[in-house]
Structure formats: structure tokens, C-alpha cells
Amino acid sequence: MATELGGAKALTVLSPYFGGPKAVVDLARDLGCKTVNVFVPPKVPFWFDFDTAKTLGLAAQPVTNQLFSGEKLLHAKAFDIECARGRLTIAGSANATVNGLGLGSVEVVVARVSDGAPWLGWSRAGYPKGLVGEGGQEPHHTACPCLIARLDGGGVNGRVLDVVDPEGCWNASLYAPGRFESIGTVELAVDGRFMIERRRVDAAVSSLQLVLARGEETVRGWLVMTDIIAAVRERGAIAEAMARAAGGAENPRDNDIIAGFFTKHPEAFLAGDEPIASGSNSPKADKEETSHLVPAGELGIGDALKPENDRAASGTGQSAFQKLIARFRQRITDTPRRGQGHGHESDAGDGGDDGRGESVWSNADLLAGAIGSFMRKIDESPDGRTKRENILSVLDFILYGADNVEEPEQFLKTHLPVWRNLARRAGPAQAGLDTLDRCYAVATVAPGLREPKKSAEIHKALEIWFRGALTKDHRDLLEMPPTGHREGQLAPDVRARDWKLAVTGTLAAPTSWQRNRALIAALDGEGPMPDLSAAASGEEIAALGRIGQGIRRRDTVVVRSDWKHCPSCHMKLAAVEAGRLRRGGIASCQGLKCTAIIVDIQPEET
């Protein structure tokens, strides 16, 4: 549109948020406009970073207007573009941010062409003075102590004001609705500034107070969650729900929102070999990200929810929303379960809806939809460490879901067998035994605690998983009683003695592979002949006896290579014999000149 008006000559930007100068720099470049003005009101949450803009090649000028000079916070968003043959004014919901002007969020704006008369009459203004935190004015000093602090990826950075001689050690604590946590001693500098390492602050809720105490002095203030605020700007309601869930406020409506999002975008939850968003460490890093005003017809309503449209603000390859998802995933992995029927907290004090008048349980069908999407996505991925880690993450999500639905036992009964089937397609660990081996073993053995008759079936499932006979390392892994919240939910309320008895009983129950391996050993003169009456025919038992007596050739007994052909003559097996081989592990070739007896001695590769 600006080109149709003869090209842009000057751009004036009115916006309460910027998230860095990049969006304005990109817009000016796309317009081919060298004269750029940015409105600087007296009171605003975030000021434009004129200095950084200069380093990017844009010498923007600060301007003001008396219509916006009051004490109220600026909320208007507009772009006044003076062209050679008129004026283009764009106003609406879009801030001058990378997401607002790019593909990171859905915005609605109205473009108006006028005859070129000045819009508001901008006048020059001074550059903003030194900022505190992320932007805004230097706080006015008051008669009472004040604490300013923000939490970002590196930790808490803050300052105490109006405290006489603040230098020294203070005791720090965090307060949230229904929560108190002491985080130890904090050292304040002479000017009241301090820093707290991120590892000491486990906070994901959106409302949190930091309290510093020294003797009779107490200073408190709200902790500004920089990462969460950025994630909410990026994704809105889903980020708010994710933040509350990551902080432990298990509101059923939040879980439903999260499950619905993951159903559509399972890759956002699952780990990948490469970050979803582009950044300095991704293959897309060499392709410069730019901001464009996108006409509504070129962007579908759902496109802004796609993870590939995330923008990495810090160039680390992850957007704020992706970091929030990682914290949610870490929480459901690390945090102990509260037990079924614990109820749910209201997060109304945290800015959310407490869900009154609705079910106090999460929607099991929505959670199931997310689980199904995860499994389909994992099935498409190659074998390896990442796939195994993702299968563990799905287990954590299943256990998290069970802790938040009305019928947890039924939920686990439905989803754990499906999860075990998925895990069997994971491929072996790269070296030794890992956490997935342990979790699969616990999930497989646990049913035997209640149903000893399934011991042989469970033993066979373990041999399938470990791809052969169980060694001492496997036994040691199995005999350890369940520990931690993950294993504790797979096998709840089990005593160490009962667990060891169940494992011993399971491993004592013979499998067809054990019996057939014993058969091969007996034919080779390395042990007694096992009982074959449950699997072999009378003719086969007699033939095997003649081999043991040296009357029949040993090489007429062959080990299965596949389920349909004889390994000796390579002819196709009769359907009846192929069925016997699968069920009992012993069958006979009925070829014209072949008398082979086929034995299955170990699980096939899965």
C-alpha cells in the first residue's frame, strides 16, 4: 500500500510494548524508510531501546504529543506512515513486537489512506533516561521501603529502595497463594541491589512475592516473571494455563486447555534432536528472521498456534513459551504425586479461573487425545536416545493425568498397556540398562503382585523386552523395589519383601523359550531333556529321543529364522505348523524330503 502511494518517507510508531527494537528496524527496512519516529510517553511499561536500534542501523527519533501526556498507561497501537502521495495509518491490536508484526500471534489491524495531512502533530522529545529492569521510569522514592525484582532465565535481579544502610545479609522467602518457601540468605550491595541464582528459585506461578527480612526490618515486593510474561505475550491463554500447571496449581480447566493444545501440537511437548524454533544453534539460524505486516487473508486463524511460528527472543533457539513447556515437562517428571482424590487448588488468586460450577476433575478424553497424539508422533520418529526419552515423557504425562481424573485406576488400566506396546517399539538402549528399561519392567511386573497366575506371561513379556534370556544384570534391575514417584505410581503401596517375592515367582515361571533352550542344551549333551508334552507332538518327542540316543541326526533340529519357512529346506510351512510354532515354539516341516523339527529359542527383534 505504501508503494502505491509513492513510497514511505517517514514512519511514526505508537506502541506500549516493543520486546527490543528489531520489529521496528525490520518494518522500516521493508518500507524503505530512513526517517523513523517512536513515541515516548511519560508513563509506559516498556520504552523503545533507541541505543540498540542505532547498533542495528536505525537512528530513530523520540517524539511526543500532548494528547498522550497524561499519567495513564499507554495502550494504543498505531503506525503513521507518511508517503509521497498521501498518508497510511494502521491501527489495531498489533504491538511493535516481532510477534505482533510477524507470524507469532494473531492480530487485527485497520489500514486507512488519507490525503497526507498531519495526523496528530508530533513534536520532538528527549531520549528516555536510564531504565530499571526491562523498562519504565526510575521508581519514585517513597517514605516506606520498596523492593523491585524480576525473574528471568539467569535468576532474580532486584533492588531495595528507601532502606537505610541496606548492605549485608538478608533472609529471603517466597510467598504465593497457599505457599511459603524460604530460599536462604541473600547479599545486598551498598545501593540495595542483589541477585539470586535461578536454581534457588523454583517458581512458575504468575503471582509471587519476594520478601527480604533482616532483624525487625522487612521489605517485600512482587516478583516480575519475565519469562512467563513473555510466554503469555507469545501464546496467551495456553501460556497462562501452562504457567499455573508448571507451578503446581492443578486446575482441571488448565489441564484441559493444555491437553487440547498438545493434541494438536504433540511436537511441542516431545523432545527433538533440533529446537523447534529458529535460533543461533538451529539450522535456520543463517536465515534472518524478519517482521512483516501480514494481510489477514494470508494467515489462517490456527497458524499462530503452530510451534514453527515461535520467535526466539534471545537467540538461544527456544522461545519463552517453549521454555515454559520444558518447565512443565520437568515438573511432571520431578514432582511427587499427591495421590488420587487429593482435590484441586483454586488458582483464582493467581489470576486464573477457579472453575467453580464445573467438574473438579480433568477431562479424561482430552488427556487421552493428547496421549494418542504423542504416541503417533513418536512412532514416526527414528529409534535412539531421543525416542526413548520421549516415551518416558509420555509415561509421565499418563501418570500426571491419572492424578487428575476421577477414575485414576481405569485411566491407568487403559493407557499403560498401550504405553508398553509403544515402548516395545523403542529399540534397545545404546549401552547398558537405562531408566526406560526400569520403568517398563516395573509396569510389567506390578500386575503379577495381584495375579500370580500371570507369572509365566509376565516372564515372557520381560524376555521379549530384553530380547532374550534374563541375565544377572536384569535380575538385579528387577529385584530393586519401586522407588520414587514415577515407580511408586506404577506399583503403588508395595512392600520391598512382597516385590522381591513377586519377581522371584515371575522368574521361576518357565517360558517356552527357556524350555526350548533347555531342549537344545539336552540335544548337545549339556543337560537333561525338559518336559515337552505341552508343546511337542508324540512323533516329535519320539524323534527328539532318538537324537538323544544317537539314532537320528542332530542337524534335523533347527532354530527358527522366521515364522513362515523351514530354515532347513526353505519351503513354506503348512499353516497348522506355522501356528504351532508361534504358540508353543515347536513345529515340524512337512516337506517331501525334509524331516526338520523347528524350535523357537528367543524373542524376535522388535
Q: What is the CATH number of the domain that holds 183?
A: 2.60.40.10
Q: Classify residue 163: in a domain, yes or no.
A: yes
Do 436 and 503 belong together in one domain?
A: yes
Handedness of CA 444, 450, 451, 456 (dihedral sign): positive
CB neighbours of 484 closer than 8 A, spacing ≥ 6? none
Q: For residues 549 and 306, what is the distance between their CA atoms, to the nearest angstrom?
A: 71
Q: Which of 44, 48, 66, 65 is nearest to 56 (CA)?
A: 48
106 and 67 together in one domain: yes
Bridge partners of 79, per DSSP, are 13, 90
Query: Are both 107 and 199 inside the same structural domain?
Result: no
DSSP label of 337: P
Q: Is residue 354 part of a domain?
A: no
> In sequence order, what E strands does 336-456 have?
none
Q: Which of 587, 582, 546 is nearest to 568 (CA)?
A: 587
Last residue of a domain, one of 228, 250, 284: 228
Q: Specify the DSSP element, H or E, that contains 377.
A: helix 364-379
Residues 28 and 108 occupy one common structural domain = yes
**Domain co-membership, 505 together with 517:** no
Residue 499 is assigned to a structural domain of this protein: yes
For residues 212 and 147, the answer to whether their CB atoms sit within 8 Å is yes
In a domain, 420, yes or no: no
Whether residues 25 and 106 share a domain: the answer is: yes
Whether 154 and 214 map to the same domain: the answer is yes
Q: How far is CA 362 from CA 205, 238, 241, 408, 491, in A?
A: 20, 16, 13, 11, 23
224 DSSP β-pair partners: 150
* Residue 263 burial (C-beta neighbours within 10 Å; 0-12, 13-18, 19+): middle
Q: Please report whether residue 557 resides in a domain.
A: yes
* Same domain (yes/no): 497, 525: no
- 454/517 same-domain check: no
Could you tell me the three cell numbers for 278? 529458529
Burial class (CB in 10 A: 0-12, 13-18, 19+), 126: exposed
Alpha carbon dihedral 185, 187, 193, 195, in 10-degree steps, equals -60
pLDDT for 340:
44
Q: What is the separation of C-alpha 375 from the centre of its chain, rounded to a whole number of angstroms?
A: 14
AA identity, residue 39: F
Residue 18 lies in a domain: yes
Q: Element (H or E) spanning 368, and its range?
A: helix 364-379
What does the pLDDT look like over 438-457, one tens digit per residue? Answer: 999 899 888 878 787 888 88
- Phi and psi torsions of 212, nearest 5°: -110, 135
Is 293 within 8 Å of 300 (Cβ atoms)? Answer: no
290 to 29, 89, 302, 305, 321: CA distances (angstroms) = 10, 21, 21, 18, 19
Which of these three, 183, 212, 228, is where a domain ends?
228
How many Cα atoms occupy the beta-carbon half-sphere of 561 within 13 Å? Answer: 11
DSSP-assigned letters across all residues of 497-532: HHHHHHHHHHHHS--HHHHHHHHHHHHTTSSPPPP-
Residue 222 CB neighbours (<10 A): 14
Whether 101 and 18 share a structural domain:
yes
- Please indicate, yes or no, if residue 34 is contained in any of the structural domains: yes
- Shared-domain flag, residues 28 and 104: yes
Q: What is the pTM of this model?
A: 0.60
Among 245, 247, 239, which Cα is nearest to 223's?
247
d(Cα 323, Cα 319) in Å, to the nearest integer?
A: 6
CB neighbourhood size of 32 (10 A):
11
390 part of a folded domain: no
Per DSSP, what are the bridge partners of residue 88? 81, 113
Nearest to 226 by CA among 163, 149, 282: 149
Three-class SS of residue 438? helix
- CATH number of domain containing 29: 3.30.870.10
**What is the β-pairing status of strands 209-214 and 217-225?**
antiparallel
CA gap 571, 514 in Å, rounded: 27
Q: Which of 178, 201, 228 is the last residue of a domain?
A: 228
CB 26 within 8 A of CB 291: yes
Which residues neighbour 293 within 8 Å (Cβ) at sequence distance 6 or greater? 27, 90, 94, 101, 109
Q: Which grid cell is 98?
A: 516481532
The residue with cell 494504543 is 76
What is the residue range of 588's domain?
512-599
pLDDT < 50 stretches in the chain: 45, 130-142, 204, 273-316, 339-358, 606
Q: How many domains does the chain have?
A: 4
Q: What is the structure's pLDDT at 396?
A: 93
Do 87 and 165 fall within a single domain?
Answer: no
Q: How many whole angstroms separate alpha carbon 318 and alpha carbon 339?
A: 33
The three cell numbers of residue 587 are 513345529
